[in-house]
Structure 1
Amino acid sequence: MYDLNISWSASATPRDLECMLAYSSQLGYKTVALNHIVSTPIPAQIKNPLPQLPLSSSTAGTTTAAADTPAAPTLPTVLHRATILLSEPSQNHRLLSLAPHYHLLALRPTTEKSFAAACQSITDIPLISLDLSQRLPFHLRHKTCAVAVTRGLRFEISYAQLLAAPDARARANFIGNVMSLVRATRGKGLVISSGAGKPIDLRAPMDVVNLLSVWGLASEKGVEAMGPGPRGIIVNEGIKRSGYRGVIDIVKAAPAPPEEMKASREAATDGKGNGTNGSKPGGKDKKGQKRKNAQEPPSDGNRPGKKWKGGQKPK
């Protein structure tokens, strides 16, 4: 399973982040993405503040000690993601400048105009992330969402927005927006993530699938939104960054070991430069005579090596 939204804060210590990753692995998530919020306009100097693994040398001893115990989980594969807040479509001319610095980009439109642009015209950003705990300033219409799904975009549902909601109004907004999104997309093109900033907000994958099934999302669609759906996004983004115009890089095959090359060479020759039949490559056998398969040049335009009496072919 995949979780493409683990909320990251600059105030989080490496130990807290390590505990979050370890708990997500224990719940069954094999690949997670640390999420960083970026505001527009995009600054000229782009820097990825997300930490690299291993997190720090101060936690290395703790990690080693924990790995010695049988119950110590392994950390999942960690990707870097940037979620871009977009209010005006005219600010999207430098969005792709973030691509070399992150594994994944997501767009969070905050106005109806930017939402329509994200669904219909903005390219190379595969994920649309909405704050479903707030009252959206636009309607989730089937026509607009269907265009985005047809273009290969995915809509994200982060269930931590419900678990960390400050009041009942925010929880009601989340439930209503999720039902509207499921109805507008017909359950297609969805990605379910956590958006959690603390381990207490994480849930097991099947618990999330059962929760969303109450609000209209079928169980098979929920499993797809936590497995094949996010996996397709990661694979496509990896191809974009490792290839050119959709062409995948070709990795050169490793050469055969010297022992295998020597054995194949000896199988084709007798070890002295001769062929398998004992003949040398010059066209003569050991007795100095021409081999039978050597053709003589045609003498009269007829078949090679065949001469007719009188120089003419009998009628």
Structure 2
Amino acid sequence: MLYDLNIAWSPGLSPSDLQNTLRLSKTLGYDVVALNNTITGSQIPYSPSPITNPIPILNPQQPAGGGGAPSSITTPSTTASSSLPSSSLPTILRRATLEITDPATTNYRLPDFTRAYDLLALRPTSDRSFTWACNNTTDPPALISLDLTRPLGYHIHPRTAMAAVHRGSRFEVCYSQAVQLSSLNPESARARSIFIGNVQSLVRATKGRGIVISSEAKSALGLRGPADVVNLMAVWGLGPERGFEGLGMGARAVVVNEGVRRRGFRGVVDIVSVAEGGPERAKGEEEETNGKQGKKGQKQKGQQQQQQQQQQQGQGQKRKNNDKVGGGGIGGGGGGGGQQKNNKKMRKEGMA
């Protein structure tokens, strides 16, 4: 399965444009996508008011990605479900990306955003917020997404980056940030060169590990096929194997881990749904299993009884043989006694 965990969404996006983007992503081969709501620092509420999710639920059939994806049914939403047909759409998750400038004012609201969205990503904008996102968050974020078209203003240190990877976070590279730039604009050409340099710095710091590739497409024109994305990343410094991993297994691991975190208890106890068909089918399967085990037990018991009978027959035959040998010895002893009497008689006659 292929994943695109970042398709830009905004309240002003028209349903027709969103539908075209989702249908094209399905046509290109992406099975699971995530609609991303970017929230700046000024939009983060600092009061203990509840966090609402404005992204509509487009296809509530869940879970996705091998049984461990988060369920959008249990996530609150202030918008009614859309009437878009889900037959030609991929599985859709809802994601929030928080732009972090001052970590002190955001840390305590992270659990509220985690409960409201399927995925939570952090976009640090300074050296302090980057170090905090990698090392000091209460719960490690699912994704650390950087705006690679701007100078970061700090160096991506390998120790800091690998600390985030070891904690379970993944770094996101959004190729549409460079693809949608106009080649005729000098500022766009400079932004593209900055993007390539930042990607190479990130790959060098992580050695290609823990990287997830997304699009961050604002329209259908920003999407590319998986083969094109892997080729682009190979030109920018990420090998083809790591590129396919960033579109497949790496992104799937993010979705599954976040689903277990939300549906389980401390990542240990997971909620398992009842088998299809209800309790009657589950009871029938249990009786069938017990019947098979009973037949297997009867067969083993019959084999054990047969072995015991063979052992008893062998012991009886051995006793008979021993009895025969013992009788021959007694007869021989009697014969020896008669010979002794004859010898005594012959001695007496000789003395006479």
Q: Work out whether residues 128 and 154 of structure 1, in 8 Å CA contact, stay in contact via their aligned partners in 2.
A: yes
1:195-206 aligned at under 5 Å gives the runs 195-206=216-227
Q: Displacement of 1:141 after TM fit?
A: 1.3
Counterpart among 210, 222, 226 of residue 231 in structure 2: 210
CA distance in 2, matches of 1:169, 1:260: 67
Question: Which residue is 1:134 aligned to?
Answer: 150
Larger Rg belongs to: 2
Give the aligned partner of residue 309 of structure 1.
Answer: none
Which residue is equivalent to 1:46?
Answer: 51
Decide which of 190, 194, 201 is 1:173's aligned counterpart.
194
Aligned partner of 2:249 among 206, 228, 231: 228
How many residues are aligned here?
Answer: 256
1:102-148: CA deviation from partner (whole Å, max 9, x where unpaired): 10000000110010011111124121000000010211111111111
Q: Which residue of 1 aligns with 2:125?
A: 110
Q: Which one scores higher on RCO, CA 8 angstroms, separation ≥ 6?
A: 2
SS state at 2:265 partner? coil
Q: Name 1:255's counterpart in structure 2.
A: 279
CA contact (8 A) 2:57 2:82 kept: no
Following superposition, the deviation at residue 45 of structure 1 comes to 3.9
Residues 84 and 260 of structure 1, relative CA distance in 2, 3 Å threshold: closer
- Which stretches of structure 1, 4 residues or more, deviate above 2 A after TM superposition? 39-42, 54-60, 250-261
Q: Structure 1 unaligned segments of length 5 or more: list them.
A: 68-72, 268-315
Q: 1:157 is matched with which residue?
A: 173
Q: Could you tell which deviates more after superposition, 37-46 or 222-231?
A: 37-46
Residues 1:74 and 2:88 are matched in the alignment: yes
The two structures have a TM-score, normalised by structure 1, of 0.75
Q: 2:240 corresponds to which residue? A: 219
Deviations 1:231-263 (A, max 9, x none): 0011011111111111212444543359959x9
Whichever residue aligns with residue 120 of structure 1, its letter is N
Asked if structure 2 preserves the Cα contact closer than 8 Å seen for 1:39 and 1:84, the reply is yes
Sequence identity of aligned pairs in percent? Answer: 47
Aligned pair in 2 of structure 1 residues 211, 95: CA closer, same or farther (>3 Å)?
A: same
- Normalized against structure 2, the TM-score is what? 0.67
Q: In 2, Cα distance between the equivalents of 1:148 and 1:219? A: 23
- The alpha-carbon distance between structure 1 residues 258 and 157, as it changes in their structure 2 partners (threshold 3 A), is closer
SS in 2 for 1:156: strand
Q: What's the CA shift string for 1:25-81, capped at 9, x where partnerless? A: 000000000000112363134221112216989965xx5xxx9xxxxx710000000
Q: CA RMSD in A?
A: 2.7
Distance 1:140 1:252, change over 3 A: same
Q: Is the 8 A contact 1:14 1:56 kept in 2?
A: no
* Match runs of 1:26-45 below 5 Å: 26-40=27-41, 42-43=44-45, 44-45=49-50
- The separation in 2 between residues aligned to 1:224 and 1:161, in whole angstroms, is 20
